[in-house]
Structure 1
Amino acid sequence: MVRVLSAFRGLYFATLLMLIGTGLLSTYLGLRLAADQVQGLWVGALTAAYYAGLVIGGKLGHRLIAKVGHIRAYVTCAGVVGAAVLGIGLLPWLPMWLALRVLIGMGMMCQYMVLESWLNEQAGPGERGKVFSGYMTASYLGLALGQVVLVVSPDLGVDKLMLVAICYALCLVPVAVTGKIHPAPLKPAPLEPTFFIQRIPQSLTTTLVAGLVIGSFYGLAPLYASAQGLPTERIGLFMACCIFAGLIAQWPIGWLSDRHDRSWLIRVVAIALTLAALPLAVLPHVPPVVLLPLGLIASLLQFVLYPLAVALSNDHIEGERRVSLSAMLLVTFGIGACIGPLVVGALMNLVGPNMLYAFVVLCGAILIWRIRPDAVTGKHLVDEAPLSHVQMPEGSTSSPLAAALDPRVDSQVVQEQMHSEPVVEEEPAEEGAPLQEEIEFPQNPAEPKAT
């Protein structure tokens, strides 16, 4: 394990710096707007704009990487993201902040794609699980450390934005100076929404709800904690503990997932999440001695929904479709993460801050209603099901290429899907075959290799 982590330390360090900046920026914006007494709807809109950028970036990232190569694409996006962060400090106009948040999301998604395709190319078949675990740990640790900055330095001056920009500037150094061989040009994964909606409706429902809850949490939990009277340093501590709880929860839920019915587990988690969030939803003011433990439990539960949905869906999807599955899941997560903060921001503005956890209760109730273990017939179970549970980063810290690092996916199939030449002419689809959406971008066979 130490050898694997050492071999990829540069890429892990770049991931860590990226997520420190992302975690700090998200919480800072919420607290800054709360201090300026801006309506919660704007806070939700900024979070929704970031996730919209992630979804758009999933499409445009392939085009940029194919045109200029991995290193140039990564450096370009890191520079644009850093400039956008500084622009937030220089242009205190909320409509401009929305545009800059979309730009930040687009650049971040391209950076995720470069890092994940590079990790996939360099990881051997027997190392994929270890490589993926290291990537997941770096992602969650970076998000948590971003909150710790506010514990150490609780003021909300523009120096925090400068620190975020520094993180994005430094994260390009390990990639820019690497001596590793460039990954091959990428081919976008096809989306097959009709097929997946029919095959894995419960997994997609869980993914959508996870996006609703997690998107709302990242954008509006700092605003909720501020309304409860917590000072900035305690808000940073609260957010750091909640995110770290999400990391810790991945291993026990993986152990349970490999031994129990996954649809049943999702329903149990939904029930527990509803019960944990209910006191925070009902009480207009929650003392800190109650807020922290209940917030930790709710966070622990909400962060395991997406990995459980991924595990359940992989049990019912053939190996050659799993990269496409990852793209579909992340688009679904992104849609939820765009809608959730907007709805919750409006509710918090109209009713009160406890509407954040009232929304979580509602989402939990939807899962309890929609997730039916007895409806999983097993008709489409793959031969190797149940597949081993793999701890996945949640959808805001990965791209569709994360599936390529999943050891359950055959590496040869992944290479063929990601790097095959685009098809110029297609034969007519067979009658009754599922519709397939695929956008082809030109490849760059002359992409230079590092020496």
Structure 2
Amino acid sequence: MRRIWKSFRALYFASLLMLIGSGLLSTYLGLRLAADKTDSLWVGALMAAYYFGLVLGGKVGHRMIARVGHIRAYVTCAGVVTAAVLGHGLIDWLPAWVVLRAIVGVGMMCQYMVIESWLNEQAEASQRGLVFSGYMIASYLGLVLGQLVLVLHPALGLELLILVAMCFSLCLVPVAVTRKIHPAPMRPAPLEPRFFIKRVPQSLTTTLVSGLVIGSFYGLAPLYAARQGLTNEQVGLFMGCCVLAALVVQWPLGWLSDRHDRAVLIRGCAGLLVLAALPLAVMPTVPLEVLIPVGFVLSLLQFSLYPLAVAFSNDHVEGERRVSLTAILLVTFGVGACIGPLVAGGLMRQFGPNMLFAFVCFCAAVLVLRIRPDAVTHLHQVEDAPLHHMSMPDNMTSSPLVAALDPRVTEQIVQDQMQTQPTTVEDPADTKST
């Protein structure tokens, strides 16, 4: 692991800085609007715009990288994101903030794509699992540190926006000065939505619900905590503990996923999530001593859904389609993450802040009803299923290229997917599997 860290430390450090800035910006905007007593629907709209930008950035990033190359694309997007962040301090008009958040999302997705394609190009097949683990740790650590900045500096002044802009400016330095060989040009993986809806419907449902829940949580949890009377330091501590739970759960989740039926685990996590969110949904006020442990447990469960959906779907999709599968999963997640904050924000406006967790309860209950382990036919299960569980980012801190780091996807398959535009023919005999 030490040798891997030394080889990829520049890319890991760039990812760390990006996620510090992204995590801090999301919480800062939520708290800033809460302090101004802004309608919660606007807070949801900002987060929805960010995820819309991430989804759109998958298409924009491919075209930009193909046209100007990886380093120029990364530097360009880092500059645009920095300007968009500073724009929040220059303009107080909320519709403009929505546009700026979408621009940040587009730019960050392009940055993710550059870093992940670079990691894939430089990683040996035997190291992909460790390389990806290092990337995931850097991403989650950045998100946690971004929240903890508020503990050290709770004032919601322009200096926090300047700090976010500094993070996005500095994250381009390790990439701009690297002596690594540029990754090969790439083309977008085909989405094939109809094929995957037939083949892995339950996995896509889980991914959509995960997007609804995670998008709402990231966008509106700081607003919820502020309306519970928490100070900015306490909000930062609460959010930091919740994001930390997302990192902590990955390894025990992987152990369980490799040993038990993944459909059962998804349904079990969803059922427990209903129970964990219920106290926060019914209690109008919650003290900090209760909020932090309950939020930690709730995050353990809600951040488990997307990784389980990824592992579950990979068990039933052939290797040559796994890059496309990752793309459709991230798009599905993004759609949910766009819708969730808007719906939850509207509910919070009408009925109070605890409606955020009532919405989480409802989404998890839908998943309990929708996921049916006995309906899995195993007709298309791959030969080596269940495949080894890979801990995946579950808040879209990744691009469709992240599948290339999965050691279950061979180098030849990845090369074929990235450098040629495959023509796929849907098998009319395909039936629902997961």
* 2:167 aligned partner, one-letter code: C
Cα 1:363–1:165 shift into 2, 3 Å: same
- Which residue of structure 2 lines up, in the alignment, with residue 441 of structure 1? none
What SS does structure 2 have at the residue aligned with 1:180? coil
Deviations 1:129-172 (A, max 9, x none): 00000000011110010001000000000111000000000000
d(CA) in 1 for partners of 2:222, 2:375: 38
- Which residue of structure 2 lines up, in the alignment, with residue 439 of structure 1? none
* 2:372 aligned partner, one-letter code: R
* 1:188 aligned partner, one-letter code: P
Cα 1:316–1:431 shift into 2, 3 Å: closer
- Which residue of structure 2 lines up, in the alignment, with residue 12 of structure 1? 12
Cα 1:317–1:431 shift into 2, 3 Å: closer
- Which residue of structure 1 lines up, in the alignment, with residue 312 of structure 2? 312
d(CA) in 1 for partners of 2:240, 2:337: 20
- Which residue of structure 2 lines up, in the alignment, with residue 35 of structure 1? 35
Deviations 1:314-353 (A, max 9, x none): 0000000000000000000000000000000111011000
Q: Is 1:289 matched with 2:292?
A: no
What SS does structure 2 have at the residue aligned with 1:8? helix
Q: Is the 8 A contact 1:70 1:182 kept in 2?
A: yes
* 1:192 aligned partner, one-letter code: E
Identity %: 70
Alpha-carbon shift at residue 433 of structure 1 (Å) = 8.6
Alpha-carbon shift at residue 431 of structure 1 (Å) = 8.3
- Which residue of structure 2 lines up, in the alignment, with residue 209 of structure 1? 209
- Which residue of structure 2 lines up, in the alignment, with residue 193 of structure 1? 193
Within-5 A mapping of 1:50-69 = 50-69=50-69
Q: Is the 8 A contact 1:129 1:407 kept in 2?
A: yes
d(CA) in 2 for partners of 1:412, 1:60: 25
d(CA) in 2 for partners of 1:372, 1:294: 28
Cα 1:34–1:430 shift into 2, 3 Å: closer
Q: Is the 8 A contact 2:41 2:346 kept in 1?
A: yes
d(CA) in 1 for partners of 2:426, 2:317: 20
- Coordinate RMSD, CA, aligned: 1.3
d(CA) in 2 for partners of 1:316, 1:324: 13
* 1:406 aligned partner, one-letter code: D
Q: Is the 8 A contact 1:330 1:400 kept in 2?
A: yes
Cα 1:88–1:430 shift into 2, 3 Å: closer
d(CA) in 2 for partners of 1:430, 1:42: 42
Alpha-carbon shift at residue 408 of structure 1 (Å) = 1.0
Alpha-carbon shift at residue 395 of structure 1 (Å) = 3.9
Q: Is 1:362 matched with 2:362?
A: yes
For structure 1, the residue ranges without an aligned partner over 5 or more in a row are 435-451
Alpha-carbon shift at residue 432 of structure 1 (Å) = 4.1
Q: Is the 8 A contact 2:112 2:397 kept in 1?
A: yes
- Which residue of structure 2 lines up, in the alignment, with residue 411 of structure 1? 411
Deviations 1:343-376 (A, max 9, x none): 0011101100000100110011011000011111
* 1:251 aligned partner, one-letter code: W
* 2:26 aligned partner, one-letter code: S
d(CA) in 1 for partners of 2:326, 2:303: 17
Within-5 A mapping of 1:96-111 = 96-111=96-111
Q: Is the 8 A contact 2:49 2:98 kept in 1?
A: yes
d(CA) in 1 for partners of 2:396, 2:322: 19
d(CA) in 2 for partners of 1:430, 1:241: 44
Alpha-carbon shift at residue 384 of structure 1 (Å) = 1.0
d(CA) in 1 for partners of 2:394, 2:289: 28
- Which residue of structure 2 lines up, in the alignment, with residue 442 of structure 1? none
Q: Is 1:132 matched with 2:132?
A: yes
- Which residue of structure 1 lines up, in the alignment, with residue 346 of structure 2? 346
What SS does structure 1 have at the residue aligned with 2:125? coil
Deviations 1:5-62 (A, max 9, x none): 1110000000000000000000000000000000000000000000000000001110
Alpha-carbon shift at residue 281 of structure 1 (Å) = 0.2
Cα 1:267–1:187 shift into 2, 3 Å: same
* 1:344 aligned partner, one-letter code: A
What SS does structure 2 have at the residue aligned with 1:353? coil
Deviations 1:294-319 (A, max 9, x none): 11100111111100000000000000
Q: Is the 8 A contact 1:58 1:399 kept in 2?
A: yes
d(CA) in 1 for partners of 2:133, 2:187: 25
Cα 1:226–1:383 shift into 2, 3 Å: same
Q: Is the 8 A contact 1:334 1:395 kept in 2?
A: no
d(CA) in 1 for partners of 2:245, 2:393: 13
Within-5 A mapping of 1:363-378 = 363-378=363-378
* 1:367 aligned partner, one-letter code: L
Q: Is the 8 A contact 2:216 2:340 kept in 1?
A: yes
Q: Is the 8 A contact 1:89 1:158 kept in 2?
A: yes
Deviations 1:406-434 (A, max 9, x none): 111112110111122x57xx79x688499
- Which residue of structure 1 lines up, in the alignment, with residue 246 of structure 2? 246
Alpha-carbon shift at residue 81 of structure 1 (Å) = 0.1
Q: Please report the TM-score for the alignment, with normalisation by the length of structure 2.
A: 0.97
- Which residue of structure 2 lines up, in the alignment, with residue 333 of structure 1? 333
Alpha-carbon shift at residue 233 of structure 1 (Å) = 0.2
d(CA) in 2 for partners of 1:384, 1:14: 35
* 2:8 aligned partner, one-letter code: F
Q: Is the 8 A contact 1:330 1:395 kept in 2?
A: no
d(CA) in 1 for partners of 2:426, 2:169: 50
Aligned residues: 430
For structure 2, the residue ranges without an aligned partner over 5 or more in a row are none
Cα 1:143–1:431 shift into 2, 3 Å: closer
* 2:103 aligned partner, one-letter code: L
d(CA) in 1 for partners of 2:426, 2:159: 59
What SS does structure 1 have at the residue aligned with 2:353? coil
Which structure 1 residue ranges, 4+ long, deviate > 2 Å from structure 2?
A: 429-434
- Which residue of structure 2 lines up, in the alignment, with residue 149 of structure 1? 149
Q: Is the 8 A contact 1:249 1:304 kept in 2?
A: yes
Q: Is the 8 A contact 2:214 2:395 kept in 1?
A: no
Q: Please report the TM-score for the alignment, with normalisation by the length of structure 1.
A: 0.94
